Amino acid sequence: MDGWKKLNSKVAYKCPYFWVTEDDVIQPSGKTGVYHQINTTGSVSVITENQAGEICLIRQTRYTADNQPSWEVPAGGMDGKSSPLENAKRELQEETGITAVEWISLGDARPFNGLCSEINYFFLARNLSFGKSNPDQTEDITITQKKIDEIKQMINRNQITDGQSITALCKYILYKENQ
């Protein structure tokens, strides 16, 4: 047998941001079992690059990180109706007030594929315009612009610990190396 086989699936929990399924499965070994999976409509992360070559980082307090502040790239959940690019444009404008003329896909990744079905889509935004942000009521955002070398140091010193942001920054660095 190749891989897993799903026999049955039911929603065990649902909230506005994700749902958990409880699946009866046949495992790769051939044994039956139950697999619990977190499901989402996906997420987007945006790397901005201004004319000085700086990248926008946002700082916000994260409840799930013991109420600690977190440096991140602009990102957010997808609405399940619009394309990844449209969601990225919306999230960037809401969180930072930034809009962009040029958008480049940096690919996607599954940030925690042992537990969750989520796909995170990454974009590079250039030719930026700066306006007023409109963050959600759960977001307390501070915005800054930093050079990539400083961001690499922040990652190395554990000042940036958000996995989706680190993946987005790695995708950006690889993109720049291959230009």
pLDDT of 1 above 70: no
Confidence of residue 135 (pLDDT cuts 50, 70, 90): confident
Per-residue pLDDT reduced to its tens digit, 15-50: 999 999 999 999 999 999 999 999 999 999 999 999
pLDDT of 138 above 80: no
Residue 50 belongs to some domain of the structure: yes
Residues 94 and 147 placed together within one structural domain of the fold: yes
Number of domains in the chain: 2
pLDDT of 136 above 80: no
CATH at 157: 3.90.79.10
Confidence of residue 115 (pLDDT cuts 50, 70, 90): very high
The whole domain housing 171 covers 43-108+120-177
Residue 23 belongs to some domain of the structure: yes
| Predicted local distance difference test score (pLDDT) of residue 137 | 79
Give the three-state DSSP class for 54: coil
Residues 81 and 144 placed together within one structural domain of the fold: yes
Residues 75 and 19 placed together within one structural domain of the fold: no
pTM summary value: 0.93
Residue 91 burial (C-beta neighbours within 10 Å; 0-12, 13-18, 19+): buried
User: How far is the CA of 48 from the CAs of 64, 67, 77, 129, in angstroms?
Assistant: 25, 26, 18, 11
Residues 28 and 48 placed together within one structural domain of the fold: no
pLDDT of 106 above 70: yes
Residues 49 and 34 placed together within one structural domain of the fold: no
Do the beta carbons of residue 144 and residue 129 sit within 8 Å? no
What's the CA dihedral at 98, 103, 104, 110 to 10 degrees?
60
Per-residue pLDDT reduced to its tens digit, 50-98: 999 999 999 998 888 888 889 999 999 999 999 999 999 999 999 999 9
Provide the strand spans (E) within the chain.
5-14, 19-26, 32-39, 43-48, 55-62, 68-72, 75-77, 98-109, 120-130, 142-146
| Predicted local distance difference test score (pLDDT) of residue 50 | 97
Look up residue 10 and give its two tokens: 């039911």
